[in-house]
Structure 1
Amino acid sequence: MADIDAIVDDLDAERADLEQVVAGLDATLWRAPTPAQGLTIADQIAHLNWTDELVMRAIRNPEAFADEFEGVLAPAHAVESISAGSAIVNAGTVERSKVPQSQLLTMWRRSAAELSGILRALPSGTRIPWFAPRPLSAAAMAASRVMETWAHGQDVFDALALTRPPTGRLVHVVRLGVRSRDFAYQLRGLEPPQEEFRVELRAPDGGTWNWGPADAPGKVEGSALHFALIATQRLHRDDSDLVARGEGPEEWLRIAQAYAGPVGRGRERQRPLDAV
């Protein structure tokens, strides 16, 4: 069974790293564009605050949340539902980003701390309705918040030309990316492969993280950091150090997606062809 406290500890640490970067920004940098199309640094923080509050609404009153977003949460129409859910989140983000900088930072700190406390206290077996093919467990929701905080934090670090050392918290992002393999195919109207893939990634501490059968014919190898960046569409596949063995894994790496959102544009390729 997943250790919810350990996951929330990682969530708190991920937020703290991002907060340290954004807390002292001047007004110009606060509104600076990030690599995510159309989103400023302010938008990134607004998005995290807004979605924190949506998660708390879903936890506190799942029936009311499901009624409010009836049709959006319908698993029978997962692709359409995810697109509709994304539109709702984007609209909330835009509105929230208009809040003055100091006020928005205070709101984000408050929602972050409140959500962490709620997640830690949830009874075992709780399922949370969300913009995903199925309701999430408390552990899955906490891990998804780690992933989202890390991914949107990456946009902020990139916008400020800052390097962020990878940590063991990446395991949550990577695990979601691996487990979401079939979902990435389905979002694009493709049939997922019937066979499992082997995934072997270099962890930040020098160890190895493994998923899938050791004798699987299809295999992905490389750094956990690059896999996490690809699975959150923060790195072009051709700019990564990942090696795909077999046709299936190569196709997957070009569509991998760890989050329950519509198909995105991802990042443009940075390395010229003659540099490869």
Structure 2
Amino acid sequence: MPASSQSKAMLYGLGAVLLWSTVATAFSISLRHFSPVQLLLVANLVSWVFLVGLITLRGEAKLLVKIGKHSLKSSLFFGAINPLLYYLILFQAYNTLPAQEAQAINYTWAIMLSFMAVPILKQRLRPADYLAAGACYFGVLYISTRGQISTLEFSNITGVGFALLSTIIWAMYWLLNTKDTRPSLIGLTLNFTFALPLVFLYAAVTGELDTWDQNGVWGAIYIGLFEMGLSFVLWNQAMKLTTNTSQVANLIFLSPLLSIIWLSQFAGEPILSSTLIGLAFILVGLFVQNWSKKAKKTLE
């Protein structure tokens, strides 16, 4: 594959990462006007329209229907996990914690993935996994206590609980997704298709359809289009074109750092020193984990 393909892969990957870096700000602003359920409902609808439109443009509408008919149970199952359960809990974390803290804790899902892969995929942990987990969860502890580790005075234990629970659900989703035989884009579209009526029903039962603040609509549209839609397409394209997966994957480290900048500039969140220190530990842990995986592949 020519070098230009790797350059294109990096551009696609950078585009996805830049979009991901903005979503914490979009979450924070949107949740000032919408409840987590309302935000999910609008974002899910927008993402579904985008994904179905993309599938149609690619000439795969008939394939979408065909696969959908033969995968009703799996589409409903995966849709109930993502977007329904995952985003409800994630939005609740952002609704409870400062966005900079919620997004930093959410980045530990990769560590959770390694530990959950042991019972689900029968994988074995390496010493580097324990070291990475130690660094990441020390960072979580530092963020959630805002630096008051010695007294263990948590700023908001409920919000931290929601943020950590979101990492468990997201890791479980990707582990179960390894056994999903549907094409990735079609599978994602079917997930959002089957989740949409579930989200609507949940919103109706909980009375979230009664009162709407129009100021939250544009943020929800942004989230549905870019966080749940276009970013996935860009990242998927980057993975297809790349000749060096780890090089593209390392772009992920830019996202939380940029996110804090956007939050301070556009959402009016003061940057907490405890978040920066805790995030540094989390990023070190993720770097150790990625480096260990790369070293293992080199030896193999």
Relative contact order (C-alpha < 8 Å, sep 6+): which is higher? 2
Whichever structure has more helix as a proportion of its residues is 2
What's the TM-score, normalizing by structure 2?
0.30
